[in-house]
Structure 1
Amino acid sequence: MDRSRPSLRRKLLWWLLLPQLVLWATGGLLAYRIALSYAEKAIDQSLTQSVRALARQVKPIGSGLLIDFPRAAQDVLEQDPDDRISYTVSSPPGQFLLGNQRLPQPEGEQPVRSVPLHYTATLDGRALRMVALDLDYGDGDVPQVLRVQVGKGMAEQQRIARELIADMLAPLLVLGALLSVLVYGGVRRGLAPLTRLTAQLENRSVNALQPIAATEAPQEVHALVTALNDLLRAVERSVLQEKRFINDAAHQLRTPLAGLISQVESAQQETQDPALVQRLDKVHRGAVRSAHLVHQLLTLARSESQVLRAPLDLAALAREVAREWTPRALAAGMDLGYEGLDRLPVSADALQLREALANLIDNALRYTPAGTSITLRVGQDPDGSAVLVVEDTGPGLRADDMDHVFQRFWRGSELPGGCGLGLAIVQEIARRHGGDARVEQIAPQGLRVEIRIR
């Protein structure tokens, strides 16, 4: 699978899990704000109780005040040095009487008589939650106002909020992780038919045109399978038409060309006219070349169609081909032999591999001078690929020609007889067997053609 291309599974997981993550984070933030609100309410209730209790200790006597606030009560209020409760009593409001005279007064909204006012202030860089309570005292002729303030740091509020968040978000986190696992499993299970369909297509042969079975797939995949099966049936009809054309062409072209060659050869034997012999020789060469071209074209067409793989011994096949071509090699003054493994079982199309070897040996015999050594080799790579090699000690090819050797109708020599399809056929056969074909120069001279099949 190409990781650079967009994946349907990744897209589904992205659009399913990302909103879940956003909602979880938003829920966590809202839960934190709610926890802070509840913690603030709890602290406000505690401060309200404290300010009322402190107000009860301030008792009016005539036009004055009696503050009955024992030391023990002060120690209780100030017992926590990190987050202790601070208080102040002032009358009139703002005129210090008792406590911490640095406590800030409320800004903006002012307390209503006998109704606690809660507000937030800052003292020495520390946030405080405060409550102010104004009370009337004194006789009717001289009314006065008493203000009692109590403040407490925000550390307790934040601690309570954190505990609430931990208690709330931990289960949410576990549920979110469980939901993510369920979403991943659901997406994977939902896409399983596509995965099976992909594996079915990848594992079948390039020429297997049978319909694809997807009986357990959902409706959407059934539509895809139906479209693929329609395409496969159309390709199968095209292949059958091509095969019929190849068979008809083989019958219609080979027989007349063979008859023409036979008639020309008979005419060459019967005539003594040098001019006519020369003309007949040209006709004979043209007919032989046409027959060879027809054979190569038909071979190329067959190599592009179906590959009928069957178990065979590749080494035995190479030795057999070498023996078949040995008489022609001896007639041309060349040494043809086999080297390599004694046995190599593979699954391949014996007819097509035989044709590929025949093309390589024919090229070596046709385009190398007498005295050349031609060697067939069979080996196996560490990755399990079978390797067929044909080497010769001829002049080889120019460096500029190496990029063109597998092009159809390209010829590296002007010698008569060839049609430029031999190596193209070899490459097509190698690809039809899941491999490839390579050509390389041999030092100090020579050419090596390698066929890999898998």
Structure 2
Amino acid sequence: MRHEQRSLFGEILDWMLTPLLLLWPISLALTWFVAQDLADKPFDRTLEYNAYALAELLTVQDGLVRFDQAQSASGVLRADESDVVYFQVLAPSGALLAGEADLPLPPPDDVPASDQVRLTNAELHGAKLRAAYIWMHLPQIGNAPALVQVAETRNKRSLLATDIIKGVLLPQLFVLPLALLLVWLALTRGIKPLHQLEERIRRRKPGDLSPLDDKAVPIEVAPLVDSVNHLLDRLHESVATQKRFLADAAHQLKTPLAGLRMQADLAQRQGGSADELKQSLQQIGRASVRATHTVNQLLALARAEGGMALMQRQSVDLAQIVTDAVHASVPQALQRHIDLGYDGAPAGSLGAVLRGNATLLSELVRNLLDNALHYTPSSAQAPGVVTARVITDPFGQVLMLQVDNSGPGIAPVERERVFEPFYRALGTQVDGSGLGLSIVREIARQHGAQVQIAALAPGQAEPGVRFTVRFTSGLASVAASPPP
């Protein structure tokens, strides 16, 4: 299933603008509530002043509360065209002294101990009101409280709140598009280094595998550039391996092919005897065998250097691989009069399981056995000995493969050089390509293992050689689940 290609620029823009567009109506709602509060404050103060002013007009005569200054009250209450103002004055007994009789009373339990104005919301004849009331305590009649209320409709408040909203909204109508433009410009400038990186990559020559400059890119892109640089390094290594393989193949095949051509020319010469023709054909056969072996070893080395990342890893039984390789090498050992055996952990042992590639591990074991069989002096009277074994660890921390052979051994100064391609120890008369141990080390490296060489019997005339491959990774994860 093909996924639709997405724009990073568009996705960032969406994630930036979506919250902005969602917050805008929320901001308007909050502004409305703030505007209502701001609009109430000045008018509430006016109501409080009017309530105090009316309360000052109360008088007590002959023990009776009087409010005889209705005209003064009308002057105190400044009505306008927008709102209707109501007032109410009640005696301590509840009798109406002046004002609107239908004006709702405040809560009966809300009688403050001292003379102070309270504010409340009310409704009269279907109109919403804002009211200020005060319980006026009169000391002349034993501090009995008289009620004074002043209320007005909310038209002026709504108009003021609307003006405040307009004053906030109109600038936002200009600021919001400007903010969108600035966000777009900022994103365009922000992703400019990506375009510059793209141009630098496009201008590269096909053979340029040098790392990209990770200092000239933003910090957020640096991990991506590092990953590309790692890829370029692996690609450079792969190209170098291919070039080295081609050079090695051309160098190693040149000699046997030249020998084949020379022997073919000798076989075709006139006047040659049958014995000479037979000898030339035998030389051609041996040269073809050497060429075939060299090609197989070069292909094995190329496969090993190609990397395990391209080949599937799975749980493999190293003991089973070694025993299979030993059985396959028995005919060659019999032909060379060599005593070949295996005395390690049996196939199927729990500790002999590791994660790896069975094909490459088989190639590793086969090359070790082939090297031991080739370089072990042997005859019918004095047979050589080659022994393979797999040593397991009960704790599952290490797994070792050992291949021992009797013979002259390898001098300590040469033990590192024998792993170099095409190198053969001095003094040996064995015909070979010199690639077997290079293949062994490369496959071991791909599996996180180390290859060591030691003398089997130090100090003796024939010290022998012990090759040890030590595996320390890929063991614990499969130690409890051997392959079927």
- What is the TM-score normalised by the length of structure 2? 0.42
